[in-house]
Amino acid sequence: MKTVAVVGTQWGDEGKGKIVDLLAADADVVVRFQGGNNAAHTLVVDGEKFILRLIPAGALHPGKVCVIGNGTVVDPLALAEEIAALRARGRFLDDDLLKLSCDAHMVLPYHRAIDRAREARAGRRAIGTTGFGIGPAYEDKMARVGIRFDELKNPRRFGEKLARNIAEKNKYLAAMLKAKPLKAKEIANQLGRVRARIVPYLCDTGAFLAEAIAAGRRVLFEGAHGTMLDIDHGTYPFVTSSNCIASAVFSGAPLAPGRLEAVLGISKAYTTRVGAGPFPSEIKGVLANRLRTEGEEFGSATGRPRRIGWFDAVLARLAVRLNGMWGLALTKLDVLTGMDPLRICVAYQFGAKRYDEMPPGRGVLERARPIYEELPGWRESLSGARALGDLPTAARHYLERIAELAGVPLAMVGVGAAREATIVLNNPFRD
């Protein structure tokens, strides 16, 4: 296969970065097609920990071209900072390896200010955003008042649009959100300092990708967030502001429909989510704290503790259907070591009715009860496993049951944080 997309099947934080990093070894081009720096991938390479927020995980492999597509919203200050941080560690030193879409929209300081002021004003009704300005940036995109990176090529026109937007946002901040207005000159100076560093990366990413695919190059599309955070198909309104499922590749990379050959879904061996919203299989107390600690379940971009739950097969089946998944990569199986029994949510109960598929109208989720199936756990360490036969019998049965309930074959199993701590059953680039 030449074109493969990696997408999350839960509420994000599934370990996509590690799988993308592993697959990037066989890819020529790695593409980010949606979201912003509110999503982050944590990678462990040669014992070093890296957190990537905007630059695709291919940056940690020499010679891989990293593309940020038009479907993303990009904070130019954060991007410049991320590039500098990688270079300070001897990574991503070649400017030719980064392509940023001219049509990608900017996340600007006023977007962050609005995001945070809204959440503070909402109080208990807050959605639980990261406060990075992603939602307001997508709002401006849809309202046709956003600023795209192409504007950086014309400093005068960019300055005029920026000044006009800041003036309008300051009125909104002061009158509606009771927040402090921003200093236009200070923002303009900040952006002026990074402009020369960003402009060389600007590219028509659609044309670049079409040429790469025509030349037979292998292209990996790296999703952010997860299926249940999709603006249309997730647990609305507790979602992100972009489409996170595989079809977003076509508009956000962009890629012509029909050119995507495989979709690999990523899921934890249990479930987590950050922020507010329904979570039927959520667990609390000592067990949740143990999983949170063992799995280091704290947001890569924010540091917020993640909510913890058992694996939810209802969510998995929905993700398989929406994404047309070729296979499933299950991460963090090792975190479940020593927990007995294990539970899998196989359906929901609401009143007298059982739901084996996601109920229409996400409001039902807030009051639905999980129906669990119990399986025996294991105590043996999984860290050295590199084949299914190396796993304890109970661990293999757990994996087999998840694949059966989800309705998709397993392609990979993560048994540790390091790049090499992965059991690879099928690699789509080698299939």
| DSSP-derived secondary structure letter, 68 | E
Strands 307-309 and 311-312 come out as unpaired
| Alpha carbons 329 and 263: distance in angstroms, whole number | 11
d(CA 311, CA 271): 5
Assess contact for 383 and 338: CB atoms under 8 A: no
Cα gap 400→284, rounded to integer Å: 26
Cα distance from N-terminal residue to C-terminal residue, the chain: 7
d(CA 424, CA 413): 7
Longest dimension (CA), the chain: 66
Q: How far apart are CA 209 and CA 99, in angstroms?
A: 10
Torsion of CA 163, 168, 173, 177, to 10 degrees: -160
**Catalytic center residues:** 13, 41
How many whole angstroms separate alpha carbon 295 and alpha carbon 334? Answer: 9
Distance of alpha carbon 308 from alpha carbon 303, whole angstroms? 15
Residue the block writes with tokens 């997730």:
234
**In whole angstroms, what separates CA 298 from the centre of its chain?**
14
Residue 352, C-beta contacts closer than 8 angstroms, at least 6 positions apart: none
Rounded to whole angstroms, how far apart are CA atoms 405 and 92? 41
CA distances in angstroms from 333 to 11, 266, 268, 391, 412, listed in the order given: 17, 12, 7, 10, 11
CB neighbour list of residue 285: distance below 8 Å, 6 or more residues apart = none
- Only one residue has tokens 């790469």, namely 212
